[in-house]
Amino acid sequence: MALIEVNYLSQALSKITALQVFIPNDLNPAEQEGIPYYGRETRVLYLLHGYSGNQTDWIQGTTICNLAKKYNFAVVCPAGDNSFYLDQEMTGGKYATFVGEELPAYMEQLFHFSGKREDTYIGGFSMGGFGAVHTALRYNRKFGKVMAFSSAFIINEIIKTGSKTTGSLTNRPYQEHIFGPGESLKTSEKNPEYLLCRLLEKKEILPEFYLACGTEDTLLPHNREFRDFLKEKKVPAIYTESPGGHSWDFWNRALEPAVKWMMED
């Protein structure tokens, strides 16, 4: 197995950015025996960290590397800073472009990963869960599936309250910088619900959704709200709840069912 730290100059971010890549590329024949996933091309899963995290979180905090070996997929974990993986007008602020466009192209060039939609997935937790859903909808022809845990679907609360969210660790200037004025968010490309409605209107292909949240998580109402939005729009999705808070313990328990759903087809 290869665990690689990559530092490269991102044009979208106007800086050298770091990411970690795990590739299960050296299992011997005996280790692969009986595992059907090694009879196909290696798939790629882009994983986004949460607020205040970095590119090491998924590798260090979860069992994702063991799952990558079990199901034969590469893992790419970029550093998203505290961006919510959204594009800003300022120089170096194109985080959606970075994750959804520039990074996959660079990974395919560097490691010769498959660029096919059916082999390319994205996931995340908390801020990264929001970012994964947003990215999959904005780049719907790139990502075939998305898994999102304890996602920070806080846009509707910002719309209702004017750039302030309940129990948030961030202040109003930060939220206004990231999302813009609350009154403009209903029809903003930063809003996953708006992106999805636009795709439905154009009869575009949609990613498949797997959503999970802990029943003691403060973000549970936001996740239920997005689940209900998908139901209202008749968009198929797997949604699960189980005991747990906003923690690594919950994300680790939720991880393998989601990965199995992603890779078994």
**Spatial separation of the C-alpha atoms in residues 120 and 44, rounded to whole Å:** 5
Among residues 57, 58, 26, 59, the alpha carbon closest in space to that of 42 is found at: 26
CA dihedral 177, 178, 182, 185 (to 10 degrees): 140
Q: Per residue in 15-33, pLDDT tens? A: 999 999 999 988 777 788 8
Is the model's pLDDT at 34 over the cut of 90?
no
What percent of the chain is predicted at pLDDT more than 90? 82
Give the global pTM.
0.96
Q: Are 143 and 135 in contact (CB under 8 A)?
A: yes
The pLDDT score that the predictor gives to residue 17 is 98
